[in-house]
Amino acid sequence: QSALTQPASVSGSPGQSITISCTGTSSDVGGYNYVSWYQQHPGKAPKLMIYDVSKRPSGVSNRFSGSKSGNTASLTISGLQAEDEADYYCSSYRSSSTFALLFGGGTRLTVL
Amino acid sequence: EVQLVESGGGLIQPGGSLRLSCAASGFTVSTNSMSWVRQAPGKGLEWVSVIYSGGRTYHADSVKGRFTISRDNSKNTLYLEMNSLRAEDTAVYYCARAESSSATYFDYWGQGTLVTVSS
């Protein structure tokens, strides 16, 4: 299964907003509302930030938001903070003859 | 408090076998769907296997026929049996709990266990 497409890197200054895109196909991102986003700091396990396209788990800052248009999902982080610097991965269910879950290649966020 | 603790990783020769364990606490593995997700050194995440609460299992094409996910309800532990290991299976293996019945996202992750396949 091919990975979803994310930009390799994005950057922003503290207080700014950034958006990370995640592009798939009509068989995954575009076909289901099963897109999730994870934050991963170096040497740590991933942390769930957004699920079902735009839902935020309890405890996750409301500076994080998710959306989807067609085959592309997006994660927006507003009011950037130094601790937001991390790798971000999108994930989506893909329809097939069996269960399949895809991840994006990951995006390194640098807070300048 | 929900906790997942993986073990069983290590250095193994190509063609060898290894069994990973994931001990769960704070919830019951049999009432949740559970998955294994791996991350090769310096690379992104890759979903490996899922076991639904009802017991149905699925594996990624890259490991199908070589890896088997299972659980022991009495020990509240998830397993990943890995056979015919290849160099490309080298990765940190995470177990993760799926919060929803669709098993499409994971709300808790273990700290990971490193598997290195090399001669």
Length of chain A: 112
Answer positive or negative: Cα dihedral of A26, A32, A36, A37: positive
Average pLDDT for consecutive 10-residue bins of chain B (119 residues)? 97 97 96 96 96 94 96 97 98 95 93 97
pLDDT digit string (tens) for B14-41?
999 999 999 999 999 999 999 999 999 9
Cα B52–Cα A96–Cα A20 angle in degrees, nearest 5: 85
Q: How far apart are CA B108 and CA B115, in angstroms?
A: 21
* pLDDT at residue A24, as a whole number: 96
Instruction: Please check the confidence at residue A96 and state whether its pLDDT lies above 90.
Output: no
Classify B75 as helix, strand or coil.
Answer: coil
CA B88 to chain centre: 16
Structure tokens at B62: 């890259």
CB-count exposure of residue B116 (10 Å: 0-12, 13-18, 19+): middle
Nearest CA in chain A to B113: A45
- Of the pLDDT bands very low, low, confident and very high (cuts 50, 70, 90), residue A2 is low
- Of the pLDDT bands very low, low, confident and very high (cuts 50, 70, 90), residue A36 is very high
| The amino acid at A104 | G
Nearest CA in chain B to A97: B58
How close is the nearest chain B Cα to the Cα of A39, in Å? 11
